C-alpha cells in the first residue's frame, strides 16, 4: 500500500484516475465475463519492446541507467530501480512501469521518443498479469 501512496502522491488526481483504469483490469474480468486468451505472455514476448524502446536507445541499459533501472534483461527488470520495484507479478497497478509507459506519471516513457502503441502497452500489461514469466 505504501507503494501506491507514493505513486499517487507524485501527481495527485491524474494518477488516481490511471490507477483505477489500469487497476480495474488486473484480472481480465469484464462485466463478470472472464476473458480467455490462448497463451500466457512471457518475457520473450515483451523483450523486443524493452530492447527497442528502452535499452537500445541507450537509456535503460548498463550500470549508468537512470535511477539504476535497467530494462535490457529479465533479471534487472524484476530488480527495479534504486527507488523501488517497477513491476509486481499479477498487478499492473502496483508498479510504476505501467504508469510511465501510459504517461499517467510524467515523464512519459520512452522519454522524448515515440510512445509505445496500445498493443505494446497491452502486451506488457498482460505479461505482468500473467505473473512476469520468463518463458
pLDDT tens profile 29-51:
443 445 667 799 999 999 999 99
Q: Tell me which residue of 41, 63, 64 sits closest to 124, measured CA to CA.
A: 41
**pTM higher than the cut 0.85:** no
Q: How much is the average pLDDT of 104-120?
A: 93
- Position 31 scores a pLDDT of 35
Reading the block at residue 118, the C-alpha cell is: 496500445
Average pLDDT, rounded, for the chain: 82
Q: Report the C-alpha gap between 131 and 43 in whole angstroms.
A: 10
Q: Is the pLDDT of residue 119 over 70?
A: yes
Q: Tell me which residue of 48, 80, 79, 66 sits closest to 109, measured CA to CA.
A: 66
Q: Is the pLDDT of residue 117 over 70?
A: yes
Phi (first) and psi of residue 80, to 5 degrees: 85, -155
Amino acid at each position: 500500500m505504501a507503494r501506491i501512496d507514493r505513486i499517487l502522491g507524485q501527481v495527485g488526481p491524474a494518477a488516481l484516475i490511471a490507477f483505477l483504469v489500469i487497476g480495474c483490469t488486473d484480472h481480465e474480468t469484464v462485466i463478470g465475463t472472464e476473458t480467455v486468451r490462448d497463451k500466457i505472455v512471457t518475457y520473450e514476448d515483451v523483450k523486443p519492446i524493452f530492447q527497442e524502446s528502452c535499452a537500445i536507445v541507450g537509456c535503460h541499459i548498463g550500470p549508468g541507467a537512470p535511477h539504476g533501472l535497467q530494462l535490457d534483461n529479465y533479471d534487472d527488470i524484476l530488480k527495479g530501480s534504486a527507488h523501488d520495484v517497477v513491476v509486481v507479478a499479477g498487478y499492473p497497478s502496483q508498479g510504476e512501469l505501467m504508469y510511465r509507459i501510459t504517461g499517467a506519471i510524467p515523464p512519459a516513457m520512452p522519454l522524448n521518443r515515440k510512445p509505445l502503441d496500445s498493443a505494446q502497452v497491452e502486451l506488457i500489461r498482460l505479461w505482468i498479469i500473467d505473473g512476469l514469466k520468463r518463458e
